[in-house]
Structure 1
Amino acid sequence: MFGTPSSIKPHIAVFGKRNAGKSSLINALTGQNLAIVSDVAGTTTDPVYKSFELLPFGAVVFIDTAGLDDTGDLGKLRVKKSYEILNKTDLALIVVEKELSEFETNLIKEIEQTGTDYLVVYNKSDIYNYKNIKNGIPVNTKTKEGIDILKKRIIEILEKHKALQSEGLVSDLVNEGGFAVLVVPIDEEAPKGRLILPQVQTIRDILDNDAFCLVVKERELYNALNLLNKDPDIVITDSQAFLKVAADVPDHIPMTSFSILFARYKGDLNLFIEGAKEIENLENGDTVLIMEACSHHQVGDDIGTVKIPRLLRQYTGKKLNFEFYKGKGFDFARKDIKLVIHCGGCMLNRKSMISRMDIFNKNNIKITNYGITIAYTLGILPRALKPFDIDFKY
């Protein structure tokens, strides 16, 4: 937890044919030998992720991909992996040697369909005459010619993204000088000796907003609130403690969960809310897909594989079929899923989560998230959404 989480860093993916100079470009931009460079075509096979401080902007993740012209059965799989990287790419750099080929042209069409920003980078400017090119930046990764111009354009695009981003996790909910109470259960699911990422990021966001917070376990919440001289701006709880927290927090104090905060921060909160309404339409034999972005160690009463299925069965009274998916890589080609319930997505960047939501939306499959599902089945979703000025009714 000492570095900036990759999930909140802009992702810059570098695409191009084999030996076009993708890895060399990353090294030139960073001024370090982050990527392996070789004259042998196909040196980069699987996507490689490298975190770096791109000054003066800040922390970013560079993704080095396999060549778009890779051949053979294995090569086709590598190319497929490269295209999948688009789902998490905030800015694509397309490295071209000499001129645009069919490979780069097809990739640009795909990128434009996703609405992702991209730059065409013409490499080896010492060999080829790039004086008449349009919509591209000529560079020489050996002499560093054009690298500063490219870096400036990259930062301009990233700054534009930053300006267009919505508010932080809680910066619009906790006033400057105000405070929040965070309810953090320490049970068998809590990692030893540390807090989980959503809790850490929420604390940091509160501090960045010149506010402060009180962190308590759910058993100490009632006494903690009685010790305070004034009401907190908001109480934020782990979703699994929703019922006890809702009982202990007076109705006039705003209350929500970390998971619902992340539903808004990483995805589309309104779309997640609409997805939760699909719970009412579940029938016997329907399949519910429960998705997690990481492969955490499961315990006996695991939230994804045990608690949420139990809540849904109790709420609906139906015999439902549950399937489970874990991990960042994702390739969906089914239409027999009735409802998708996703974790908070703290390990995914926003582009990845939005891409997943788009895939299900295009297949007319509703999607919601853990915190919203738990609040919905417990009957407290209207209260959990009030901090966001959302008037939800069952």
Structure 2
Amino acid sequence: MDLNSTPGALRTHISFFGIRNAGKSSLVNAITNQNVSIVSNTKGTTTDPVRKSMEILPLGPVVIIDTPGIDDEGHLGEMRVKKTKDILKETDVAILVVDFTTGITALDQELINIFVEKKLPYIIAYNKADLCEKSCNNVGVSTNKTKSQTLSTLKQNDCSTSLKNEIFVSAKNNTNIYELKEMIGHIIKNDSSVERTLLEGLIEPNDIVVLVIPIDSSAPKGRLILPQQQVLRDALDKHAIPLCCQVNELPHLLASLNKAPKLVITDSQAFKEVDKLTPSDISLTSFSILMARFKGNLKELIHGAKKLEELNNGDTILISEGCTHHRQCNDIGTVKMPNWINSFTQKQLNYEFTSGKEFPDNLSKYSLIVHCGGCMLNSKEMLSRIETAKKEGVPIVNYGIAIAHMHGILARSIDIFPIYKKILY
């Protein structure tokens, strides 16, 4: 995906599930009007999740995900099924593709139960409808309904009610492909989370916002990192006046202004220095903390910061990042963060590291999870990780909150969110 495209983490993730040979890949190709997935009559052609970022009318910017069959067999098959279930963690809208001639299987019903449990919006797409034009007698939940009767019922139903989201399609003949897109679009439109932004409720038009952006050896050449890009764009969208500088230039920038900025936002690594340089009457926070509110659970992450004071010798900490960037000698996750924690706690601690889509299923061995801001993960996946940690009783905190806490400035950095300050006291 090029630099002009909507970041994958901000796109609606639409995943296609079902048993082998239900026609998931064919339906993905029909929806996208591209040969995204390999199609074959041989069972198990899709061996790994296939992702395609694109713009689809009327859906807008989306990530389409084709998954291996939920009924795959053997040792490799079990691994593929696990990958398929892992995709649920990042899915915003699920499409269950059912073979029209077979009907809903026990494994399909298992998926439906998971969708309901996770409160995940879903649509049941009965594929291969071209093979049975006269009746739908073999279709599980639609037994004894003719196709026309069922489709007539669908038009009267609210598509946001998942149990009523059924449609007959034919990937082969493109039957009802546009109607399926419309149903997906209806779900996306009614998802209020898509309206949230990083600076929502924090700034007004004409407010001055200062972005402190260190340019060091770890900074990408010729561009800003994603959280900085997104905050800058959001400030412009809100008709504020964003000003950017590095740490050393911050005093000069502040002195040159006729009025104080509404907010100073810094990279977490420079929190300590920027705190000293920013007058106490000016609000200060970090890109990472804004990201925590935007796509995570800020309350739970603030709670997690308290665990930094309770660590004991021999405890194991998981440091997890959502991206797979090339690590350098002074990497924040593998070098700086462990050094900061060791210095703060004065304990002998053990560290383990994960990156990208990798995240342990069993977290019981960890005393604390320290996570990056999650700019490369969509909100669904970030929340899934936080919820998994919460269920297993493992505190979780993100980089920005952890760094602010260790430098004694967490209260100041969340002062712009009064509802969360009481958690600290």
Shorter-chain TM-score bucket reads: over 0.9
Q: Distance in 1 between matches of 2:353 and 2:173?
A: 50
> Which stretch has the larger CA shift, 66-75 or 343-352?
66-75
SS at match of 1:182: strand
Q: Distance in 2 between matches of 1:315 and 1:165?
A: 38
Listed as ranges, the matches of 1:238-387 within 5 Å are 238-387=267-416
- Superposition pairs of residues 36-47 of structure 1, within 5 angstroms: 36-47=38-49
The one of 186, 191, 199 aligned to 2:228: 199
Which residue of structure 1 lines up, in the alignment, with residue 10 of structure 2?
8
CA distance in 2 between counterparts of 1:331 and 1:115 reads 23
Cα distance in structure 2, aligned partners of 1:180 and 1:231: 9
Looking at structure 1, the residues matched to 340 and 193 of structure 2 have their Cα atoms a distance apart, in angstroms, of 37
Query: Could you say what the CA RMSD is over the residues aligned between the two structures, in angstroms?
Result: 1.5
Gaps of 5+ in 1: none
Per the TM alignment, residue 330 of structure 1 is displaced from its structure 2 partner at its CA by 2.5
Q: Give deviations 1:315-347, integer Å, cap 9, x for gaps.
A: 222111121111213242141211100000111
Aligned-partner SS, 1:256: strand
Structure 2 Cα separation of the partners of residues 17 and 56 of structure 1: 28
Number of the residue aligned with 1:143: 173
Q: Do the aligned residues in 2 keep the contact of 1:171 with 1:206 (CA within 8 Å)?
A: no
Q: CA deviation at 1:384?
A: 0.3
Kept in 2, the 8 Å contact 1:169–1:202? The answer is yes
Partner of 1:120: 124
Distance 1:156 1:232 in 2: 40
CA offsets per residue over residues 157-203 of structure 1, 9 Å max, x none?
A: 01111x24563001321212223110000111111211111111111
Question: Pairwise mapping of residues 31-110 of structure 1 onto structure 2 (< 5 A)?
Answer: 31-98=33-100, 99-110=103-114
Q: 1:210-225 counterparts in 2 under 5 A?
A: 210-225=239-254
Runs of 4+ in 1 over 6 A off after TM superposition: none
Q: Distance in 1 between matches of 2:403 and 2:346?
A: 16
Residues 256-299 of structure 1: CA deviation (Å, up to 9, x unaligned): 00011111112100000001011121111111111111122222
Counterpart of 1:187 (choices 196, 203, 216) is 216
Cα distance in 2 for residues equivalent to 1:43 and 1:146: 25
Q: Are 1:25 and 2:27 matched, yes or no?
A: yes
Provide the rounded CA distance (Å) in 1 between the counterparts of 2:86 and 2:219: 32
Partner SS state of residue 126, structure 1: helix
Instruction: Identify which range, 322-331 or 92-101, moves more after superposition.
Output: 322-331
Which amino acid in structure 1 is aligned with residue 417 of structure 2? F
SS in 1 for 2:421: coil
Alpha-carbon contact 1:175-1:233 (below 8 Å) kept: no
SS in 2 for 1:222: helix
Is the alpha carbon distance of 1:55 and 1:166 closer, same or farther for their aligned partners in structure 2, counting shifts above 3 Å?
closer
DSSP 3-state at the match of 2:85: helix
After TM superposition, the score normalised by the length of structure 1 is 0.96
Query: Greater shift after overlay, 68-77 or 78-87?
Result: 68-77
Mean Cα displacement is larger for which, 188-197 or 122-131?
122-131
AA of the residue aligned to 1:41: K
Residue of structure 2 in register with 1:160 after alignment: 190
Q: In structure 2, give the amino acid aligned to 1:85.
A: I
2:264 corresponds in structure 1 to 235
Measured in 2, the distance between the counterparts of 1:165 and 1:152 equals: 17
The Cα offsets for residues 186-243 of structure 1, whole Å up to 9 and x where unpaired, read as 1111112111111111111112222231110011001001111111121100011111
Unaligned runs of 5+ in 2: 137-146, 155-163
CA contact (8 A) 2:363 2:394 kept: no
Deviations 1:42-62 (A, max 9, x none): 221100000121213310000
In structure 2, distance between residues paired with 1:57 and 1:233 = 36
Task: Select between 96-105 and 21-30 the one with higher mean Cα deviation.
Answer: 21-30
Letter in 1 for 2:126: Y
Q: Deviations over 1:44-102 (max 9, x none)?
A: 11000001212133100000001112222111211111111001100100000121011
What letter corresponds to residue 109 of structure 1 in structure 2? N
Q: Name the CA distance, whole Å, in 2 between partners of 1:56 and 1:231.
A: 43
Counterpart amino acid of residue 350 in structure 2: N
Tell me the amino acid that sits aligned with residue 277 of structure 1: K
**1:113 corresponds to which letter in structure 2?**
E
Of residues 245-254 and 292-301 in structure 1, the stretch that sits farther from structure 2 once superposed is 292-301
What CA distance in whole angstroms lies between the structure 1 residues aligned with 2:90 and 2:360?
A: 13
* Native 8 Å contact 2:59 2:184 kept in 1: no
Matched residue SS, 1:24? helix
Number of residue pairs matched by the alignment: 393
CA contact (8 A) 1:287 1:338 kept: yes
Same amino acid, percent of matched pairs: 47
The question of whether the paired residues in 1 share the 8 Å contact of 2:369 and 2:394 is answered with yes
Distance 2:177 2:32 in 1: 10
C-alpha contact 2:268 2:288 (8 A) present in aligned 1: yes
SS at match of 2:413: helix
Aligned-pair distance for 1:300? 2.2
